[in-house]
Amino acid sequence: MKCRVIIKLIAVCLCCLWVSQAQAQSLTDSLADIPSLLLSDHDDEASDLLTALRGRCLSSGNDTAKFMYDNNMGLLMMKRKRYAEAIKHYRSVVQLSEKANLKGPDYYNSFLLLGMCHQRLGQDSLAEKCYRTGLLKSFALDDLANITSSCYLNLGQLYEDRGDSVLARLCYDNIDPKHFFDLRDAKADFLSEDGETKAIDLRKKGEFEQCLPIYDRLLARTRKLIGTQNEDYARLLYSKGVVLDFNLSRPQEARPLFKELFDIRDSLPQFNIDILEGTARYLKILAEASDTTQVDSLFPIALDYALRSSDERNISQLYRVVGNGYYWAHHYRRAIPYYEKYVSFQEKESGLSYLEIPNMLGVCYLATGEPGKAQVLLANLMATYGDDIEGNADMKMLLFHNYGTALMRGGLYKDAVGFLEASNTAYKAVVGKDNPSTLEYIEECKKHL
């Protein structure tokens, strides 16, 4: 990923160079194809093409071709960890840029890449000189923050290795948080973005425990370099919390992570979805733990934050998640107002929440002695989404069971039997056997017919 970030920058930078002579156009066209080969890890193909073009580039008298050749060769050598050879090519890039007095991003980027090569060779004093030169030459150029931030990162690490924590901290404080995940680190085995990508891949494979140390390293790195009051830290904190809470069913370990998200909500200048969703999960965990006092105290604050969003779905989801906490803890009476508010938004989210939550609200009504409300709610749900329900056997067996139960408790035994029997049929299709509780209710209804 480090090399890919560099390649993307090079590809853009090349567009800023002088126009080549007409007779050399085919040569520069061929060279312009090489960054895409390196980006797609076709290094051998790129190497063969560079070897074939080398003689023409060096003898052409065309500085554009020489520049492109050295830029591509420098990157190829870095990818192959042949840093001494990469240094020669990047020095040539600097010389050619200064000769033509065209100092675009590629020129300043070369000082960063030279510093990284020297640092990886253990030549720290030369690396420091390259980073400092790059920073001095790019001073006050706002559009180079991604390059200068990487220079500050690596320079800070050099100072930290020497034991000078004060200078290191000054360097880290100059890293632009907006470019944190674009940083090119001379010491790291992979960039932060690569680490997060690896964690996501592990989650897709179901290897959730293996994600945790990766998130721990990424969080520690983020805290150290740019602090905790930024979107990157919020996203990583939320991601680790979800792995613990949802994937590994360890909500108490996730609780302090989500609380931290709640605590930093006012530190970011704009609304942040990770903070809101982390806050919702924090309240859910409190509700599951029957900490009703805390939920009652913090929910208005969370709602106020959700109202900063321009998307009404973020508000409705806050009610849904907190309601779920009470529901799964069997605090049905407390879940009701949250679920009622969620249903009132009439949001059809991705997934089945638009069916599941009304069904769960119906369960709450039944559990608190209000079968009439359950009847009305579930009848409206089936009338609105009948086709969706018929197409999902799991939802059908649950909804029909609960609606049949509501009818039974309302004294409508004949109607109840029809829905309960349909529920049991759907249950058998899914599970492969009868539902004992549904059969019990059917027998109870038949006694009254």
Q: What are 81-94's pLDDT values in tens digits?
A: 999 999 999 999 99
> Which domains does the chain possess?
2-182 (1.25.40.10), 190-340 (1.25.40.10), 348-449 (1.25.40.10)
Concatenated DSSP letters of 213-254: HHHHHHHHHHHHHH-SSSHHHHHHHHHHHHIIIIIS--HHHH
Confidence at residue 3, expressed as pLDDT on a 0 to 100 scale: 52
* Separation of alpha carbons 112 and 114, rounded Å: 5
What the block records as the tokens of 214 is 């990766």
Region 194-222: mean pLDDT is: 91
* Separation of alpha carbons 447 and 449, rounded Å: 6
What is the residue-averaged pLDDT of the chain? 89
Q: Which of 73, 28, 71, 29 is nearest to 50 (CA)?
A: 73
pLDDT of 5 over the 70 cut: no
The one-letter code for the residue type at 87 is I
Radius of gyration of the chain (CA): 31
Q: Which of these ranges, 50-59, 150-159, 162-171, 313-322, has the smallest mean pLDDT? A: 50-59
The answer to whether 291 and 284 have CB atoms below 8 angstroms apart is: no
Distance from chain centroid for Cα 323: 25
| Tokens 């948080």 belong to residue | 177
The answer to whether 318 and 324 have CB atoms below 8 angstroms apart is: no
pLDDT of 373 over the 90 cut: yes
Confidence at residue 46, expressed as pLDDT on a 0 to 100 scale: 85
pLDDT of 16 over the 50 cut: no
Percent of the chain predicted with pLDDT > 90: 69
Dihedral sign (CA 340, 341, 346, 352): negative
Residue 275: exposure state from Cβ atoms within 10 A (0-12, 13-18, ≥19):
buried
The answer to whether 257 and 241 have CB atoms below 8 angstroms apart is: yes
* Separation of alpha carbons 196 and 120, rounded Å: 24
Compare 191 and 257 and report the one with higher pLDDT.
Answer: 257
Distance from chain centroid for Cα 286: 25
The answer to whether 355 and 363 have CB atoms below 8 angstroms apart is: no
Confidence at residue 55, expressed as pLDDT on a 0 to 100 scale: 85
The answer to whether 52 and 87 have CB atoms below 8 angstroms apart is: no
Looking at residue 180, the DSSP 8-state letter turns out to be G
Region 193-207: mean pLDDT is: 87
pLDDT of 4 over the 80 cut: no
The answer to whether 154 and 119 have CB atoms below 8 angstroms apart is: yes
Confidence at residue 101, expressed as pLDDT on a 0 to 100 scale: 83
Give pTM, 2 decimals: 0.78
The answer to whether 243 and 203 have CB atoms below 8 angstroms apart is: yes
What the block records as the tokens of 212 is 């945790």
pLDDT of 114 over the 60 cut: yes
